[in-house]
Structure 1
């Protein structure tokens, strides 16, 4: 059985979080998953992360992308019908959040069309909607890879958009061996809960540094 892994970028690639311009004043952290399937392990992961934020009294919002359904992006559709109201709603939630945590399932070695389409639409409203947001990436997968190929592609995608992605990713391989309970009431075992808690703590240290412009004492 493989355990959870935290993946850190090469130290040479680490960028300073001390901002020379304005500081981030939006302390809410938005949590979501790139899947809306009822039994999705990544939806379960997003909920577990939101629970950890609640335990730390951190302002957060758990968002189901299925509540912001949008057609597949098409320029002609936008010309004829405009940007969907649901995209405006999601953009407003993102704009009011200083952090974004995404549980991203791996689909054929990449990330989900749902996540891609949601970001494509909101950036049609405002390309800078995520500019001052610290993004954290995580994945859970029944496979031995733990979704790392998809996470690498999400990171590259966001960094190509000149967005800031947190130092550590969280990867949970063979996740089906780490859940207990029945369908509809699944929960992670103690090993995974500990890994999630540690990853959330690491993200919050980076988030606080990003918001204040000062490294932790």
Structure 2
């Protein structure tokens, strides 16, 4: 049984990416899963001046510690103008300053969702290229386009997308055994 941390890269209280995370974790059995709703975790904007004056915020050190305790990470990233949100990029900036290899040895199931037809693929690509710099192993990816048409009542309703998601999740979980 592996420990898995599941979160979205969004601080929105109505995050569709967190809805995708919750759906994903509902399909996982036999592992210890902790869901983290980032809407409940405001962080200051990173700056070297703030880092020198105040050090690392306790909440971010706690997040780093949570990440480093798990074997797997389920992460769904949102997209703003084709890139990760400023919120999530800020979280990554802080975490990488605390410990450059904060994801060392962590296996990641990386997802994205958006209301548009591209499914947040721009953000997914950026994060997929970024996380290995911090030690992550991206095991599988999944993008959910047209969220409001393809996700209803807590489920992916389009069969082909549902199958792709399940296959990506299964691949991730197999690496944790």
Name the TM-score, length of structure 2 as normaliser. 0.89
The 8 Å contact of residues 112 and 119 in structure 2, kept in 1 or not, is answered as: yes
Map 1:1-217; keep pairs closer than 5 Å: 27-53=2-28, 56-166=29-139, 168-180=140-152, 186-190=153-157, 191=159, 193-208=162-177
CA shift, 1:131, in A, is: 0.8
Rg (Cα) greater in structure: 1
CA shift, 1:193, in A, is: 4.8
Taking the aligned partners of 1:82 and 1:65, their CA distance within structure 2 comes to 21
Aligned length: 175
Taking structure 1 as reference, are residues 132 and 162 closer, same or farther at Cα in structure 2, changes over 3 Å only?
closer
Superposed CA deviations along residues 56-104 of structure 1, whole A, max 9, x for unmatched, are 1211110122333210100101111111111111011111111111111
Taking the aligned partners of 1:189 and 1:157, their CA distance within structure 2 comes to 27
Alignment RMSD, CA only?
A: 1.9
Which structure is higher in RCO with an 8 Å CA cutoff and minimum separation 6?
A: 1
Q: Any gaps of 5 or more consecutive residues in structure 1?
A: 1-25, 181-185, 209-217
